[in-house]
């Protein structure tokens, strides 16, 4: 009888009964919600904090109010006083967040802004909005004529890209970064789950009974596939949470709609998760089989974490330069490509042959790593009290 299905089911049931599994799942849902909702909430708060009172003579106050209304909420206008505006002045004039004082000068207008919070006031936007008025006053030309002259059709269109405008491309890069981070954390956490399970069984001497009854490679495969199924379920739940929140955010009256995420991109994320997880989980498990104490896990984790950390750094670079030579080359390298190639897919059009080659290389790498890790696992799980010697590991790898 094949023991793999039995090991798989038993490991899945054991994992989902653990409190830590549900805690991590809940933390993941809350983390996805925070990453999506916090910037939106902060943006709404900053937008709400742009309430202005214009302090100027009537001939300037009206035109200034008109040009500032594009980006700010002008709650009141007031005549210049003998003293600078203070908090009491702002409260008396619509509880404004800032007062913009305008005076005529030798070369146009002179502007001084008094804000409650200097970090929140969009000073560069304020300055840009008032430029037409400054030109109008300096040249003694109606400000509406100046403003019409400064307005002209302007658009940036992509060539050979998957997005039509800059806003969609930037939004896609943001979503791609969040997805790459999710992919990175999921692969790392699920791989470490396998490593911890292997280390626990070996140090508690349970492995002696398991290896005596089941082939070590079958035992390793059952554990890796069980945690893969659990991790895939968590990933799908977190992706569904992100999809619901992004759809709700795009439905807001002031929020731009998020860029469409195709089903192919979702499948790519899941496929790269599975490939990356299988590569790293088998390496983590093989490394954990070599230790004799749980305190030694750090020595195993470090070398294996380095490639996945490098892959995450390269994926963030790929979001800005998806066709860079280093990025394209890294997207074909197993252990790196699950993250790097996904980042390229998120922001650019990847030729089908490159996708096919990446998948093929990663499938071959998974098979090779599984065979090598299984041999190391077989040797490591049967040795206690001391790690296997390098010669034993090399002999195991040679078969």
**Cα separation values, 365 from 193, 215, 282, 310, 395, Å:** 21, 22, 11, 18, 20
Q: Are residues 222 and 130 in the same domain?
A: no
CA atoms of 304 and 286, how far apart (whole Å): 11
Question: Where is the domain boundary, 120, 150, 180?
Answer: 150
Question: Where is the domain boundary, 150, 178, 198?
Answer: 150
Q: Are residues 331 and 388 in the same domain?
A: yes
Q: Are residues 345 and 201 in the same domain?
A: yes
CB atoms under 10 Å from CB of 88, counted, come to: 8
Residues 90/97, Cβ–Cβ less than 8 Å: yes
Alpha helices in 160-296 (DSSP H): 166-203, 206-213, 216-250, 263-288
Angle at 288 between CA 285 and CA 289, to 5 degrees: 90
Question: Where is the domain boundary, 99, 116, 150?
Answer: 150
Q: Are residues 269 and 249 in the same domain?
A: yes
Q: Are residues 353 and 218 in the same domain?
A: yes
Residues 53/62, Cβ–Cβ less than 8 Å: no
CA atoms of 310 and 301, how far apart (whole Å): 14
Number of domain units in the chain: 2
What is the full per-residue pLDDT of the chain (399 aa) written as tens digits?
Answer: 477 788 788 778 887 887 877 888 888 788 778 777 776 665 555 555 578 888 888 888 888 888 888 888 888 888 888 888 888 888 888 888 888 898 888 778 888 888 887 777 788 888 888 888 888 877 777 666 766 666 667 666 666 666 666 677 777 777 777 777 777 777 777 777 777 777 666 666 665 566 566 676 777 777 778 877 887 788 788 878 877 877 776 544 444 455 556 677 778 767 877 888 788 878 877 777 776 666 666 666 677 788 888 888 898 888 888 888 999 999 999 988 888 888 888 888 888 899 889 999 999 998 888 877 777 777 666 555 555 555 555 655 565
Q: For residue 316, what are the domain limits? A: 4-41+165-398
CA atoms of 368 and 362, how far apart (whole Å): 10
Q: Are residues 260 and 175 in the same domain?
A: yes
Q: Are residues 30 and 77 in the same domain?
A: no
Q: Is residue 118 part of a domain?
A: yes
Q: Is residue 92 part of a domain?
A: yes
């Amino acid at each position: 009888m094949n023991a793999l299905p039995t090991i798989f089911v038993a490991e899945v049931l054991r994992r989902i009964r653990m409190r830590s599994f549900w805690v991590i799942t809940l933390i993941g849902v809350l983390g996805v919600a925070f990453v999506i909702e916090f910037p939106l909430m902060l943006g709404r708060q900053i937008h709400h904090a742009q309430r202005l009172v214009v302090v100027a003579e009537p001939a300037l106050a009206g035109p200034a109010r008109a040009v500032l209304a594009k980006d700010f909420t002008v709650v009141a206008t007031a005549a210049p006083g003998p003293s600078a505006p203070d908090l009491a002045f702002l409260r008396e004039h619509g509880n404004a967040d800032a007062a913009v004082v305008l005076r005529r000068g030798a070369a146009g207008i002179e502007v001084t802004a008094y804000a409650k919070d200097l970090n929140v006031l969009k000073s560069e936007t304020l300055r840009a909005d008032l430029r037409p008025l400054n030109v109008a006053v300096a040249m003694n030309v109606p400000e509406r004529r100046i403003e019409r002259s400064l307005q002209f059709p302007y658009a940036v269109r992509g060539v050979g890209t998957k997005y039509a405008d800059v806003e969609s491309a930037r939004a896609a890069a943001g979503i791609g970064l969040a997805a790459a981070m999710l992919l990175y954390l999921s692969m790392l956490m699920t791989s470490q789950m396998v490593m911890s399970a292997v280390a626990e069984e070996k140090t508690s001497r349970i492995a002696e009974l398991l290896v005596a009854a089941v082939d070590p490679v079958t035992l390793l495969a059952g554990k890796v596939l069980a945690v893969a199924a659990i991790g895939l379920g968590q990933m799908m739940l977190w992706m569904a949470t992100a999809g619901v929140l992004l759809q709700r955010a795009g439905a807001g009256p002031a929020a731009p709609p998020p860029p469409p995420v195709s089903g192919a991109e979702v499948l790519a994320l899941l496929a790269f998760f599975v490939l990356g997880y299988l590569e790293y989980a088998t390496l983590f498990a093989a490394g954990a089989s070599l230790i004799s104490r749980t305190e030694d896990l750090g020595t195993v984790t470090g070398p294996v974490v380095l490639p996945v950390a490098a892959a995450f750094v390269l994926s963030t670079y790929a979001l800005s330069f998806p066709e860079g030579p280093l990025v394209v080359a890294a997207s074909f390298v197993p252990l790196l490509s699950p993250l790097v190639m996904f980042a390229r897919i998120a922001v650019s059009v990847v030729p089908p042959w490159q996708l096919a080659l990446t998948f093929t290389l990663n499938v071959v790498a998974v098979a090779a790593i599984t065979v090598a890790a299984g041999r190391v696992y077989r040797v490591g799980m049967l040795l206690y009290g001391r790690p296997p010697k390098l010669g034993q590991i090399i002999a195991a790898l040679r078969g």
